[in-house]
Amino acid sequence: MNTPKEVKELPKMQEDYKSIGSIEVLDEQLSSIISSNAKIEVLAEGFTWSEGPVWVEKLNSLLFSDVPENRIWRWSEADSLQLYLEPSGYLGEGKLPEGGSNGLVLDAQGRLTLCQHGERQVAYLDAPLDAPKPTFVSLATTYEGKRFNSPNDLVFDRKGNLYFTDPAYGLPKQMDDPNKEIPFQGVYRRNVDGNVDLLTDELTRPNGIAFSPDEKTLYVAVSDPERARIMAYDLQEDGTLSNAQILQDATPFVGKEGMKGLPDGMAIHSNGTLFATAPGGVWVIAADGKLLGRIRTTQATANCTLSPDEKTLYMTADGYLLRVALF
């Protein structure tokens, strides 16, 4: 498919990419992760709200959502930017304000698994990309007979259980939407047998979600401006959560000059370093919870993911697709 006119393709050659932002060093440990002089490169721009990046080795490409536009884009060094999937999250007539897909991940079979705001479900793509209309298979649509709000972000554990968050951002009137069926915003686990368990209903706006490398800790971002936090939970053998702790409290930074954004998506390095979107861009947090620095993107940054070799961090930031080199 052709790239729509409103999305601008930038030059393919790396040396031609423009850069924005800067690296803020808060602890010398950051120097082993990223250079203070690292460039934040703009790979593409012109999106309405970019989200949910995931690297797909089979395609040698990055996939990411444009939530309001109900699209998934594909970017690679060789082919630049291409439209990958439309519609992505709302399959009905017309357009919803935030109806597209949000978080994306691959399951153990390599299938693209999506949080679909408009359909209010988690599903996987089960159709050739050249099919007239994409086919999706639902994985989780209800809890105790009530439809989810709008599943937002997701992660699989090694056993195949699916953990996901369910704020109300995809509903047209969000928290006040008359079609909201569940009175809280939950964090859930969809077990391999298909059953869905509620893990917590105590977070006002659960958003990004990720595991520590050993899967003993579950991180959940809270995108509530009044409780802007990154939470850490001990993950028990039965998949339940305990010992809730505030890993980082970003509330004091919300709305400050140069600190656009809220806690949202996250990426975990194999050494335990957490890259967490938050006010100002991406916060780089050591495995012990210490804040090492910030990748200051100048934009409200929604999500991020690592390349397979962990040498590159890709970031979706408002209208931009960005990347920065790591050590």
In tens, the pLDDT along 294-305 reads 999 999 999 999
| Burial of residue 247, with CB atoms counted within 10 A of its CB: 0-12 exposed, 13-18 middle, 19 or more buried | buried
Residue 23 within any structural domain of the chain: yes
Residue 3 within any structural domain of the chain: no
Q: Could you give the CA distance from residue 32 to residue 29 in angstroms, rounded to a whole number?
A: 6
- Spatial contact of 165 and 208, defined as CB atoms under 8 Å apart: yes
Is 220 in the same domain as 325? Answer: yes
Is 195 in the same domain as 91? Answer: yes
- CA dihedral defined by 57, 66, 226, 189, rounded to 10 degrees? -50
Q: 46-70 burial by CB neighbour count: b if 16+ within 10 A, else e?
A: bbbbbbbbbbbeeeebbbbbbbbbb
Per-residue pLDDT for 160 more than 90? yes
At residue 214, φ and ψ (nearest 5 deg) are -90, 0
Is 302 in the same domain as 235? Answer: yes
Report the 10 Å Cβ neighbour count for 318: 19
Higher pLDDT, 136 or 13: 136
Per-residue pLDDT for 130 more than 70? no
Domain boundary among 166, 201, 236: 201
CA angle 296-168-84, nearest 5°?
A: 65
The rounded Cα 31 to chain-centroid distance in angstroms is 25
Q: Could you give the CA distance from residue 220 to residue 228 in angstroms, rounded to a whole number?
A: 11
Is 24 in the same domain as 97? Answer: no
The count of residues in the chain is: 327
Cis amide prior to 87 (ω within 30 degrees): yes
Q: Could you give the CA distance from residue 196 to residue 233 in angstroms, rounded to a whole number?
A: 19
Give the confidence band of 16 by pLDDT, cuts at 50, 70, 90: confident
Residue 5 within any structural domain of the chain: no
Domain boundary among 161, 180, 201: 201
Is 285 in the same domain as 228? Answer: yes
Tally of structural domains, the chain: 2
Residue 7 within any structural domain of the chain: no
At residue 2, φ and ψ (nearest 5 deg) are -80, 150
The full DSSP string for 213-238 is TTSSEEEEEEEETTEEEEEEEEEPTT
Per-residue pLDDT for 280 more than 80? yes
Is 259 in the same domain as 159? Answer: no
Residue type, position 202, single letter: E
Is 265 in the same domain as 162? Answer: no
Residue 10 within any structural domain of the chain: no
Give the confidence band of 11 by pLDDT, cuts at 50, 70, 90: very low
Q: Could you give the CA distance from residue 169 to residue 186 in angstroms, rounded to a whole number?
A: 13
Per-residue pLDDT for 1 more than 60? no
Q: Could you give the CA distance from residue 306 to residue 289 in angstroms, rounded to a whole number?
A: 19
Structure confidence at residue 134 (pLDDT): 79
Is 122 in the same domain as 33? Answer: no
Give the confidence band of 132 by pLDDT, cuts at 50, 70, 90: low
Nearest in space to 154 (alpha carbons), one of 213, 231, 119, 206: 206
Is 176 in the same domain as 290? Answer: no
Each residue of 40-70: pLDDT tens digit?
999 999 999 999 999 999 999 999 999 999 9
Give the confidence band of 2 by pLDDT, cuts at 50, 70, 90: very low
Q: Could you give the CA distance from residue 247 to residue 75 in angstroms, rounded to a whole number?
A: 33
pTM: 0.94
What tokens were used for 293? 């620095």
Is 124 in the same domain as 264? Answer: no
Domain boundary among 168, 201, 234: 201
Q: Scanning the structure block, which residue is given the tokens 């409200």?
A: 300
The rounded Cα 293 to chain-centroid distance in angstroms is 20
Give the confidence band of 38 by pLDDT, cuts at 50, 70, 90: very high
Per-residue pLDDT for 129 more than 60? no
| Burial of residue 42, with CB atoms counted within 10 A of its CB: 0-12 exposed, 13-18 middle, 19 or more buried | buried
Residue 245 within any structural domain of the chain: yes
Is 248 in the same domain as 191? Answer: no
Each residue of 148-158: pLDDT tens digit?
999 999 999 99
Each residue of 163-216: pLDDT tens digit?
999 999 999 999 999 999 999 999 999 999 999 999 999 999 999 999 999 999
* Domain CATH for 57: 2.120.10.30
Residue 246 within any structural domain of the chain: yes
Residue 177 within any structural domain of the chain: yes
Is 64 in the same domain as 128? Answer: yes
Domain that holds residue 62: 47-201
- Spatial contact of 264 and 248, defined as CB atoms under 8 Å apart: no
Per-residue pLDDT for 100 more than 50? yes
Q: Could you give the CA distance from residue 312 to residue 62 in angstroms, rounded to a whole number?
A: 12
Give the confidence band of 8 by pLDDT, cuts at 50, 70, 90: low
